[in-house]
Structure 1
Amino acid sequence: MSVAPFHLAIPVTSLQDSEAFYGELLGCSKGRNSPQWIDWNFFGHQLVTHLVAEMPSLPQHNLVDNHAVPVPHFGVVLEWQDWLVLSEKLQSALVEFVIKPHKRFKGQVGEQATMFFLDPCGNALEFKAFQDIEQLFAS
C-alpha cells in the first residue's frame, strides 16, 4: 500500500504557542510560513496552523471503549516504539491528557495503544500504534 501525505489546516489563536507545541514539544520541522500561518512537517504529512481571532466551538465526544473521545480530532499512527517514546516525552513534559496513554480494545481485533491530548488552542490530537499494523483496518 502506497501512502500519500495528507494535508490538514487547523485554526490556532497563537502562532507562538503553535511553534512551542508543534515545533519544540512534538519535534515537527517548520516549513513555509507567514504572519498568518505556519506549515509543519507533521510526521511526514503537511499540517498548517492558521491564525484565527477565536477558536470554533469546542469538540464533542463519542464513547469508544469506555472513553470519551473528542470529535473532531486528528493524529498519526506511529510505529510501536516511536509511540512509546512520544508517550514518555509527553508525560515527562507534564502534558495534560484528555485520555491517558493506554491499550484500547485489549485482546480484540484492532488492539492498539492510544493517547489523546489538546494543543494550546484546544485542537484534539490522537496518536496511536499497533503491534500488528495489519490490524489498522481490521473489522
Structure 2
Amino acid sequence: MPLSPFHLAIPVHDLPAARRFYGEVFGCREGRSAAQWVDFDFFGHQLVIHEAPARIDAAHRNPVDGQAVPVPHFGVVLPWEAWEALAERLRDHGIDFVIEPGIRFRGEVGEQATMFLLDPCGNALEFKAFRDIGQLFAR
C-alpha cells in the first residue's frame, strides 16, 4: 500500500514556543492557523499543535534495547541521509536529547538509527532511519 500522509494533533501549553520550535528548529513550513492552533508540514505529514492546559508527562519510560524510551511519543522514519542531517541540525540548535542519536538493535533484525527529544511542551519525538527500509516491520 502506498504511504499516505498522517494527521496528528498534539497538545501544547505554550503555543508561541511550540510554533517557534517546529518552525525554526525543524524548519517546518507553516500551514493554516488560528489563535489556538497551527498546522505544520512535518516531513510531508500534517502536524497540528493545539493550545491546551499543561498535562504532558514524558516521565514514563519503557525499556527498548537497553534504553528508557518515553511513552507516549511520535515521530517520522526518514531516509538515512535525512536522519543524519536532522541530527546535525538539532545539535546545531542546542537540543538536549532524551536519547542521543545512535544505532539501536545493532547487528540484529530491525537495526535502526534513532534519537529522542522533547518539544518545549514536553511532547516526546522519535526520529529513526533504516539502511534497509524493508526492516521497518521485521521481526
What TM-score, normalized to structure 2? Answer: 0.96
**2:137 is matched with which residue?**
137
Q: Please give the alpha-carbon distance, in whole angstroms, between the structure 2 residues aligned to 1:121 and 1:106.
A: 32
3-state SS, counterpart of residue 75 of structure 1: strand
The secondary structure found in structure 2 opposite 1:23 is helix
Q: Matched residue of 1:69: which SS?
A: strand
Per the alignment, residue 33 of structure 1 pairs with 33
State how far apart, in whole Å, the 1-side matches of 2:57 and 2:84 are.
31
Match of 2:100 in 1: 100
Alpha-carbon shift at residue 59 of structure 1 (Å): 4.4
Aligned twin of 2:3: 3
Deviation for aligned residue 1:57 = 3.6
What amino acid maps onto 1:7 in structure 2?
Answer: H
The answer for unaligned runs of 5 or more in structure 1 is none
Residue equivalent to 2:14: 14
Provide the rounded CA distance (Å) in 2 between the counterparts of 1:5 and 1:41.
Answer: 10
Amino acid in structure 2 at the alignment position of 1:94: G
Q: Secondary structure at 2:20's aligned position in 1?
A: helix
Please give the alpha-carbon distance, in whole angstroms, between the structure 2 residues aligned to 1:18 and 1:82: 22
Rounded Cα–Cα distance in structure 1 between residues aligned with 2:42 and 2:57? 24
**What secondary structure is seen at the aligned counterpart in 1 of 2:98?**
strand
| C-alpha distance in 2 between matches for 1:57 and 1:28 | 25
Structure 2: stretches of 5+ with no match in the other structure: none
Q: Point out the more displaced range, 64-73 or 53-62.
A: 53-62
Task: Report how many aligned residue pairs link the two structures.
Answer: 139
Which aligned segments of 4 or more residues in structure 1 are displaced greater than 4 angstroms? none
Q: Using the alignment, how far apart are the partners of 1:93 and 1:55 within structure 2?
A: 26
Contact 1:55 1:121 in 2 (8 A): no
Aligned residue runs from structure 1 range 1-139, under 5 A: 1-139=1-139
Provide the C-alpha distance between the structure 1 equivalents of 2:4 and 2:91, rounded to a whole number of angstroms: 30
Give the structure-1-normalised TM-score.
Answer: 0.96
Give the aligned CA root-mean-square deviation in angstroms: 1.0
